[in-house]
Amino acid sequence: MLLFGATSAFAQEAEIIDLVEEALKSSSSREISKHLHNKVEIKLDGERNEYSKNQAEVVLKQFFQDNTAESCEFVHQGNNNAGGIIYAIGSYQTSSVSYRVVVRAKKFSKEFKVYRLEFTKER
C-alpha cells in the first residue's frame, strides 16, 4: 500500500509537469490556467506579482500573444520532499527571444497546483 501511494504521488507530480510543458509549448493560457492554484505568483523578466487564477490567465494570455512559443522543454525536474514542492526548469523559445522558465507546484488538498511561474530573458 505504501509503495502504491508513493507511485501515485510520483505519477501526479510527473503529470502536472508534463501538462504544463504542453500548455507552454502551445502558448495556451487557457490550458495552463487549469493547473494554477487560486493565487499564483508570476515573474516576467524581473517583475514579480501575485495574481488570482483568473488574473494570471489574462497576464499569461498577453505574454503568450507577445511571445508565442516556437519550443519549450524542461531540462530539469525535481522535488523538495520535506516541503512537498515540485519544480521544473527549462527553456521557452520564441522566434526572437529565449527565456529560462521555472515552474513550482505543490499539493493543495488532493492535487498538485502551480503556485509560481517565472520567465527570465536569457542574456
- The string of pLDDT tens digits covering residues 12-64 is 567 999 999 999 999 999 999 999 999 999 999 889 999 999 999 999 999 99
Higher pLDDT, 26 or 10: 26
Higher pLDDT, 79 or 22: 22
Q: What is residue 5's predicted lDDT score, i.e. its pLDDT?
A: 46
Three-state SS at 42: strand
* Residue 115 confidence (pLDDT) above 90: yes
Q: Which domain holds residue 46?
A: 2-121
Q: Can you tell me the mean pLDDT for 66-95?
A: 93
At 67, which CATH number? 3.10.450.50
CA torsion sign for 38, 106, 104, 72 is negative
Q: Tell me, what amino acid is at 116?
A: R
Residue 68's contacts (CB-CB under 8 Å, 6 or more residues apart) are 27, 94, 95
DSSP-H helix ranges across the chain: 2-25, 29-33, 53-66
Instruction: Give the number of domains in the chain.
Output: 1
